[in-house]
Structure 1
Amino acid sequence: MSLLHRATFVISAARLDQLPPPGPPEVCFAGRSNAGKSSAINVLTNQRRLAFSSKTPGRTRLINMFGLPDPLAPGEWLGHLVDLPGYGYAAVNRNMQQEWDIVLGGYLRDRPSLAGVVLVMDIRRGVTDLDRRLSQWLAPSGRPVLVLLTKADKLPYGQRMKAVAAVRKELATLGDLTAVPFSATHRIGIEEATAHIENWISPKVVP
């Protein structure tokens, strides 16, 4: 069984100071609203409703943290998955957008236990201006980034590969970057994504 399948809800936080103190490795999921972030978390953890998926983009405003129990140390966490609020939904007022930017930027820049970032993007949209801004926050940290190009089933194979190449080229400043075509419904890219995330949390884990 995948390490990620053990994920369980820990806490929802509106502010960074409401999160538990930094500790075991954390892997966060970031992406613009409606890019398929919640669906990706649910399929990677093999759970239907672990991450809340709202039909109203931009509705989820909290940082949601899920713990991965350590099988060798009952009561301890091996690591955490962190679902960050979706960004960039136009219907949200400017003050709310700025507030989210502060939370997102602060977490991505300053959280010492952050081991890797999963950037969720709709493969049909490519890199948006908001994705570029997120990459500017991330680049100085040097943290590894896994780009999940969701809804890959909507494109034929050749177009998927072109999209992957285009994303790698445009986000080259991030350094340690991997881009993977991904589809929650057609189960594309799940094994590769799982391997990356497990390795960030516990390099000794054997699939």
Structure 2
Amino acid sequence: MSILHRASFTISAARLDQLPPPSTAEVCFVGRSNAGKSSAINVLTNQRRLAFSSKTPGRTRLINLFGIPDPVEPGAHLGFLVDLPGYGYASVAREARDEWADVLGGYLRDRTSLAGIVMLIDIRRGVTDLDRRLADWVAPSGRPVLALLTKADKLPYGQRVRAVAAVRKALADIGTLDALPFSATQRIGLEEATHHIENWISPQVVP
């Protein structure tokens, strides 16, 4: 069983100063609203509603931490999955969007326990201007990025391959980048994505 399957809700925070002090490895999930972030977290953890979307896209403003328990030390965590607010939904007021940008940027730049970033990109849209803005926050940090090209089941295999190549090219300046076609409904890319995330959290558990 994947260690990700043991994830459980730990805490929500509206601001960075409400997060617990950095300790063990964190892997964050970030993407524009409607990119399939909640679905990805749920299928990776093999849980139906660990993460859930607001009925109004773009309204979820909290940072949610899901802890993965340490099997050896009771009460301790191997690491955390971090669900960051979605970004870029047009109906949200500019002031709120800017506030989100500050929270997202601050977390991605300054969180010392951040071990890796999972960036959700709708495979049919490719890298949007908002995704590019996110990449500009990420690139200076040097942290590794896994781009999950969600809703890959909507495209035939050949188009998926071309879409992955296009994302790799568009985000080449990030440095340590991998990109995978991914589908929560058809479980495309699930094994590869799980391996990446487990290795960021606890390298010793992954062969």
| Shorter-chain TM-score range | over 0.9
Question: How many Å separate the matches in 2 of 1:206 and 1:166?
Answer: 29
Other-structure match for 1:139 = 139
TM-score with structure 2 length normalisation?
0.99
Unaligned runs of 5+ in 1: none
The question of 1:35 aligning with 2:35 is answered: yes
Cα offset for 1:53? 2.0
Q: Which structure 2 residues correspond to residues 99-118 of structure 1 after superposition, within 5 A?
A: 99-118=99-118
Secondary structure of the structure 2 residue equivalent to 1:79? strand
Other-structure match for 1:191 = 191
Q: Which amino acid aligns with 1:100?
A: W
Cα offset for 1:116? 0.2
Q: Which structure 2 residues correspond to residues 1-207 of structure 1 after superposition, within 5 A?
A: 1-206=1-206
Question: How many Å separate the matches in 2 of 1:59 and 1:41?
Answer: 18
State how many pairs are aligned.
207
User: 2:3 touches 2:68 (CA, 8 Å); kept in 1?
Assistant: yes
User: Runs in 1 of length 4+ with deviation above 6 angstroms?
Assistant: none
Question: How many Å separate the matches in 2 of 1:125 and 1:76?
Answer: 40
Secondary structure of the structure 1 residue equivalent to 2:64? strand
Cα offset for 1:110? 0.2
Secondary structure of the structure 2 residue equivalent to 1:204? helix
Question: How many Å separate the matches in 1 of 2:141 and 2:166?
Answer: 23
Question: How many Å separate the matches in 2 of 1:9 and 1:159?
Answer: 36
Question: How many Å separate the matches in 2 of 1:178 and 1:123?
Answer: 14
Cα deviation code 1:1-59 (max 9, x no counterpart) = 10000000000100000000000000000000000000000000000000012232102
User: 2:199 touches 2:206 (CA, 8 Å); kept in 1?
Assistant: no
Question: How many Å separate the matches in 2 of 1:71 and 1:157?
Answer: 39
Question: How many Å separate the matches in 1 of 2:2 and 2:175?
Answer: 27
Cα offset for 1:115? 0.3
Unaligned runs of 5+ in 2: none
Identity %: 79
Question: How many Å separate the matches in 2 of 1:198 and 1:86?
Answer: 23
Secondary structure of the structure 1 residue equivalent to 2:29? strand
